[in-house]
Amino acid sequence: MSKVKTSYSCNSCSYKTIKWMGCCPECQEWNSLVEEVIAPAMVIGKAAAVSAGKAAIMTPLRSTPDKPKERMFSGISEWDRVIGGGLMPNSFIILTGDPGIGKSTLLLQISNRLAQKYTVFYFSTEESLQQVHQRAQRLGTINEKLLFSDQADLQTIVTTAQAAKPDIVIIDSIQNCYSNNAQSFPGSVGQLRESAFHLMRLAKEEGITVIVSGHITKEGNIAGPKTLEHMVDAVFYLQGEERWQTRVLRSVKNRFGTINELGFFQMGEQGLEQVPNINEHLMSEASYAPGSALTSVLEGSRPLLLELQALTIESKIGIPQRVVSGVDHKQVVLIAAILEKYLQVRLSAHDIFFKISGGFKVKESAADLGIALALLSSYFQQPLPEKTIVLGEISLTGQIKPINQINTFIREAEKFGVKQLLVARSQKLEKTACKVISITNVYELLSLFTA
């Protein structure tokens, strides 16, 4: 009898080794290596290989029938927009996020809405039916058309779906699914790979939309590891925002819509409630104090109005501090260097503290001008005029450059009473009721604080 061969795979990354180690050398996670049985390779001869399968029929795309499928709308606009304009039939989707963030609550609310028009099977692999019933009562989502099961066996789930042909199958969560064919524990890399493969084939071959929830690691990545992200059609993260106890639904991968699309929800007594006007919250918090500047960034198709906050203070130590959150610290340091070079403001001798209000993160260069004005406003201790939006990119030569899609930002800003725009002189604008201040280079910024 041949000896069973095993290997060890890391739950947090795809690192493999033939012996167990306490710490993964790839991702530095402790106790993440799980033993797996290595399936023996199938050795077949050349003749057997030729007769093992049928040749595929190759056809040009022009002759492939094009039958556009109608998307499935839940009626929850924040979900439908982030998902790409409704659920696409035959798709395989994963929703992930921190424990307790509200994934199960959101899926229960979505499935309740969808069950009014479509056949929905909800498999709860983590909670008993009694626990799901108690949550549904609390949320007011008791629906006779929505069918539940607490079955976690993957073969049973797939067989049930193949026999009944529902429109949508929801599994909460995929980490608790198990396959009797896999020689490892539920949640391990081997189990997740096999579960994801069978669910992907279920979606594509049977025409069933499959939505699963997934756990994340402490770094915020899908536990699995990245295998799941490559196998699914769309990945959505449900994240928490500290100030207003808001939940942010973000699309990270979406074959049927835009990525980085954001949807906002607020946890209440009736579950997750939509926050369609997040900019109203953001603008109500704007301080208009020295060191504050308003800018706008595009997340998916939604423009967000954000407050940039800077604090500069003369350093008491040899090496000045640079504490930055919400934006790449190198971007802030670079803009501070440009201001010192051309405006002779000695920011290199000052401690700089910088953040994005609301806990958001900015990656766009369109915020360059806002960062510069926030730093200068704190340096001179003079506030910018109220209701002023700053939009522009700064080059290394101190020139102010135009940005893309600025008219989208302006239309959103006008809804909230923005009175003044600060943009590049070469920026092309649509007609607006706002007062427009056009500048060419950073030298002109001093006039805002020395007048």
Average pLDDT score over residue span 280-296: 86
Percent of the chain with pLDDT over 90: 37
Look at residue 328 and tell me whether its pLDDT is greater than 70.
yes
Mean pLDDT of 155-165: 92
Cα of 204 vs its chain's centroid, Å: 25
235-258 residue pLDDT tens: 999 887 655 568 889 898 999 888
Work out the mean pLDDT of the chain and round it to a whole number: 84
CB neighbours of 318 closer than 8 A, spacing ≥ 6? none
- The SS3 assignment for 187 reads coil
Q: In the block, which residue shows the tokens 């943009």?
A: 423
Q: How many CB atoms lie within 10 A of CB 28?
A: 10
Contact at 8 Å (CB) between 276 and 78?
A: yes
How far, in whole angstroms, is CA 378 from its chain's centroid? Answer: 32
Is the pLDDT at 266 greater than 50? The verdict is yes
pLDDT for position 49:
46
Residues forming beta bridges with residue 327, ordered by sequence position: 362
Tokens of 355: 């953040």
**DSSP code for 27:** T
13 confidence band (pLDDT: 50, 70, 90):
confident
pLDDT in tens, 370-388: 999 999 999 999 999 888 9
Q: Is the pLDDT of residue 442 over 90?
A: yes
Local confidence band at 312 (pLDDT 50, 70, 90 cut-offs): very high
pLDDT score recorded for residue 451: 57
- Residue bearing the bigger pLDDT, 54 or 439: 439
Answer yes or no: is pLDDT of 58 > 90: no
Q: pLDDT tens across 301-310, in order?
A: 788 889 999 9
Share of the chain above pLDDT 70, in %: 87
Place 44 in a pLDDT band, splitting at 50, 70 and 90. Answer: very low
Would the pLDDT of 331 be above 50? yes
pLDDT at 184: 60
Q: What is the pLDDT of residues 82-122, one digit of tens each?
A: 998 899 988 999 998 888 888 999 999 999 999 999 999 99
On whether the pTM is more than 0.85, the answer is: no
Architecture of the CATH domain 280-450: 2-Layer Sandwich (3.30)
130 has a pLDDT exceeding 70: yes
pLDDT value at residue 48: 45
Domain 70-275 has CATH 3.40.50.300: yes
Per-residue pLDDT at 178 exceeds 90? no
Give the pLDDT confidence score for residue 182 in this predicted structure.
59
* pLDDT at 211 (0 to 100): 94
Kindly give the pairing relationship between strand 302-314 and strand 388-390.
Answer: unpaired
